[in-house]
Amino acid sequence: MNGSKRVLVIGGGIGGIQASLDLADGGVEVILVEREPSIGGRMIQTDRTFPTLDCSSCVLTPKMVEVSLHRRINLLSLSEVVEVIKEGGGFRVKIRKNPRYVDEEKCTSCGRCAQVCVLAGRIPKEFDEGMGRRGAIFLPFPQAVPQKYLIDPESCLKLKKGRCKKGPPCVDACEVGAINFDDKPRLLQYQVDAILIATGFDLFDPIGKPELGYGRYPEVITSLELERLMAPNGPTGGEIRLGDFHPRSFFFIQCVGSRDRTVGAPFCSRVCCMYTAKHAYIVKERVEGAVVYVSYIDVRAHGKGYEEFYRRLQDLGVYYLRGVPGEVYKDAKGLIVRVEDQFSAQVREVATDMVVLACGIRPRRGMEKFFSSLGIETDDYGFIKTDPMTPFKTNIPGVFACGVVTGPKDIPDSVASASCAALACVEYIS
Ligand SMILES: Cc1cc2nc3c(=O)[nH]c(=O)nc-3n(C[C@H](O)[C@H](O)[C@H](O)COP(=O)(O)OP(=O)(O)OC[C@H]3O[C@@H](n4cnc5c(N)ncnc54)[C@H](O)[C@@H]3O)c2cc1C
Ligand code: SF4
Ligand code: SF4
């Protein structure tokens, strides 16, 4: 492959990571643009992956490091594409690199600044879905790539011209002088031969189903929040508890905001049945004597080894209950889930310590403007439209897509779509 060929990859989740590595290994120069301070996407937030129960960080971190070390990949974190103009056979792209306020070249990631930050442990940590705490200067999570600290300008008391205005302790603590409060956004321009979109997904906000009690009862949490509670690098070090409260019984509700016309999402999110099965398994494994219920519409265990995994759960004594819960409320016994058991045609009220909502997949918010500026067609729900025979191609020549941005997928399918999209890109540019 001619080394001068260049592809812009937007989004550094497992899809964008795999596509970037395949392209770069194939001789293509890659500009990988990630909006967040680190690559990794949703997968790096999860504890383990179904059905093999591999540790997610152990699988993904080596790939993330490989991205940062690859000589043909230019990783731009905290960055967004602001303009794309079709030019000649390719595209001219403008990228805004947002300020980190810490010099990436100088920061050794020693962490001294974070220890002395006057706001240390006071700000909800995004990576832990708000359940952990960080300071105004922080590393997003221990395995972050790039392995560089950053300052959150919304909180930092120097940037807000507050208490740290005169003598910020973080600056005194940083021996290499990496902190730079005058950092500004930078506009970068590149000429690229093709574009690969891998911006992933958002999750349904369960506030949209008030009857399920999310936001009203602290013991009603989302599946992603449970992932953070289960993860060894999470706020509880992997212990499933909320503060000092150790739940012993769990009720998992599948299809929250999926296959549900009342919230405009008649489609299946394709991963919730299996990640709920994974959660039920891990709970059984870690919480002695745990009582576990799962409510479902039907169980879709379509992948390799998935049906066998689901069967194992039933052997472990997980109660699968067919029905859609109508209400979660609290009385003297704790949380109660009211659900019609469709097999016995009886309404049941199940008392439980914790309710976990398997929230459905949604297109990434805020991408509509970008897609329409490029003329990219989306489906009725906002996922990028693709042809069944070429599920990695958009309607615009030279613009490809992979991962969940084209529709719900699990990790193996996201990886497969990424490799296909990378190959299609190479074919197009050569
Ligand atoms: C609770 C939960 C548990 C799961 N467990 C499993 C499991 O055990 N096994 C399994 O196979 N699957 C699991 N999944 C599914 C898995 O998370 C997805 O298949 C996978 O994350 C898809 O990767 P992706 O790269 O397409 O998207 P994402 O992981 O969403 O990554 C997209 C990336 O793009 C970045 N981005 C977004 N917008 C922009 C922009 N405008 N500019 C630049 N960058 C941008 C994001 O910051 C992110 O880094 C789970 C999902 C959930 C919600
Ligand atoms: S200036 Fe103050 S608030 Fe800001 S990062 Fe440094 S110590 Fe924290
Ligand atoms: S003290 Fe300086 S070098 Fe160490 S992590 Fe903070 S910014 Fe980086």
List average pLDDT for each run of 10 residues in the chain, which is 430 residues long. Answer: 82 98 97 98 97 96 98 98 94 98 98 98 98 98 98 94 90 98 97 98 97 98 98 97 97 94 90 96 96 94 89 92 96 93 93 97 94 95 94 97 97 97 96
How many residues comprise the chain? 430
Which residue lies with its CA nearest to atom 4 of ligand 1? 275
Nearest of 47, 9, 16 to residue 31 by alpha carbon = 9
Give the pairing of strands 123-124 and 133-134.
Answer: antiparallel
pLDDT value of position 264: 86
Report the separation in Å between the CA atom of 190 and the middle of ligand 2, taken as the mean of its atom positions.
Answer: 34
The C-alpha atoms of residue 306 and residue 309 are separated, in whole angstroms, by 5
Please tell me the pTM assigned to this model: 0.96
pLDDT value of position 9: 98
Determine contact, residues 178/107, Cβ cutoff 8 Å.
Answer: yes
The C-alpha atoms of residue 392 and residue 370 are separated, in whole angstroms, by 18
Report the separation in Å between the CA atom of 153 and the middle of ligand 2, taken as the mean of its atom positions.
Answer: 9
Determine contact, residues 37/99, Cβ cutoff 8 Å.
Answer: no
Residue list, ligand 2 pocket, CB within 6 Å:
117-119, 135-137, 151, 156-158, 164, 168-170
Report the separation in Å between the CA atom of 403 and the middle of ligand 1, taken as the mean of its atom positions.
Answer: 8
Which residue lies with its CA nearest to atom 26 of ligand 1? 403
**What domains does the chain contain, in order, with CATH numbers?**
6-98+185-200+364-429 (3.50.50.60), 99-183 (3.30.70), 204-361 (3.50.50.60)
Which ligand is closest to the CA of 371, given by its number? 1
Report the separation in Å between the CA atom of 256 and the middle of ligand 3, taken as the mean of its atom positions.
Answer: 42
pLDDT value of position 272: 94
Task: Work out which ligand 2 atom sits closest to the CA atom of 171.
Answer: 6
Report the separation in Å between the CA atom of 201 and the middle of ligand 1, taken as the mean of its atom positions.
Answer: 6
- Choosing from 49, 362, 411, 419 the residue with most ligand 1 atoms within 8 A of its CB, the one to mutate for a pocket test is 411
pLDDT value of position 299: 87
Report the separation in Å between the CA atom of 45 and the middle of ligand 3, taken as the mean of its atom positions.
Answer: 24
pLDDT value of position 3: 54
- Choosing from 100, 152, 158 the residue with most ligand 2 atoms within 8 A of its CB, the one to mutate for a pocket test is 158
Residue list, ligand 1 pocket, CB within 6 Å:
10-16, 33-36, 41-43, 46, 49-50, 80, 198-201, 203, 223-224, 227, 271, 275, 278, 364, 403-404, 409-412, 414
**Dihedral sign of CA atoms 15, 4, 105, 92 in order:** negative
Give the pairing of strands 29-33 and 6-10.
Answer: parallel
Which residue lies with its CA nearest to atom 4 of ligand 2? 156
pLDDT value of position 149: 98
Report the separation in Å between the CA atom of 159 and the middle of ligand 2, taken as the mean of its atom positions.
Answer: 8
